Amino acid sequence: MDAPESGNAIPHVRVVACGGTIASEPDADGAAPAKTGDDLVAAVPSVEDHASVSAREVCARPGLDVRWRDLFATAAAVRDAADGVDGTAADGVDETGADGIVVTHGTDTLADTAYALDVLTDLPVPVIVTGAQRRLDEPSSDAPANLTLAVRAAADPRFADGVHVAFDDELHAARDVIKGHSNALSTMTSPGSAPVATFTRGGSRILREPRRGVAADPLAGSKGPLAGVDPGTAAKRVPEVPVIHSGTGAGAGSIERALDAGVGGLVVEGTGLGNVTAALGDTIREAVGSVPVVVAGRPPAGPTEPVYGTPGGAVTLERHGVTFAGDLPAAKARVALALGLAADLDEAGIRRLFERP
């Protein structure tokens, strides 16, 4: 479906700034976030061709070092922007909420944060996450194009269902997107699926239905278990959830050490359809009695599926009581499990987090 952008009313888009390369400046000790959200908006005046735009700071973190409290603070800022409780008026309350929200973020964990926002929120306006591979001061920076793209998408009510990532003229679903290349401008990709939409200078084309990628109710929604919890307090409720990798010669030690350290849960990145070595399979059998164990697959596309027997096969793991991550990669499975445990979800609630709607 092709649709040019049009409309009489000028939408308002709120930028929630979190740092990253898009906000970084060079330094003798290496580049680091330094620009504010207002700086970004001022540096890319073309965004005003599509909406009235204002900005709010949440943090100035590199994508490589985003903390749980940063993530919860971002989710709170996104909800506040949608509700009109955003600190832009003298009393901190606006008469109306934003028509769309853009989150600027470092690319290293951008896909993790986008998916976490999909788990935590379910808002009536578009939430678009973007960043850049090259700083504004670098030749051929992608920051202006990506920020403009994000504002365009945020101003379009067709993208209100679910969180999306805007990058290199494409819009991706938060559940599906990954960072696929360390430095290519087209780094954001959705293996096994397609972008939700593509954009040209004059319009956009929806390739598949925009949809929230989580079957469970939002954990930080108005009635969710994390609703109204201060970001710092919420962060303290997140337990340690390590990712254990299976592969040639992988033994039981990594899981045994994790359990001895008192972790809250385990994500195991299996091979193929979600299989592990016999040594890991035997240890998982013991682990499921004390912590939730989620099994993801190593391939960048395709779901986990119980097909193979043997001590480490997914059929055997299913009998042990693991939860399969479906088509979620291990990194996002870790986010989902950690947030589910922070929200005190029971076993059924955690399993629902991994169901595709």
Q: Which residues are catalytic?
A: 107
**Are 187 and 133 within 8 A, CB to CB?**
yes
The Cα–Cα gap between 12 and 108 comes to 28
**Are 253 and 244 within 8 A, CB to CB?**
no
The pair of structure tokens assigned to 27 is 């330094």
Q: Which amino acid, 143?
A: A
The Cα–Cα gap between 197 and 164 comes to 10
What is the DSSP code string of 83-106? HT-SS-STTS--SS--SEEEEE--
- Strands 197-199, 170-173: pairing is antiparallel
Distinct helix (H) and strand (E) counts, the chain = 10, 17
Of the candidates 119, 123, 100, 107, the one whose C-alpha atom is nearest the C-alpha of residue 186 is 107
What is the DSSP code string of 112-143? HHHHHHHHH---SS-EEEE--SS-TTSTT-SH
Angle at 8 between CA 7 and CA 9, to 5 degrees: 100
CA 287, 290, 291, 293 dihedral sign is: positive
92's torsion region: left (phi>0), alpha (psi -120 to 50) or beta? Answer: left
149's torsion region: left (phi>0), alpha (psi -120 to 50) or beta? Answer: alpha
Return the bridge partners of 323, or none.
Answer: 294
Element holding 293 (H helix, E strand) = strand 293-297
The Cα–Cα gap between 307 and 299 comes to 16
Of the candidates 313, 11, 26, the one whose C-alpha atom is nearest the C-alpha of residue 160 is 11
**Are 95 and 138 within 8 A, CB to CB?**
no
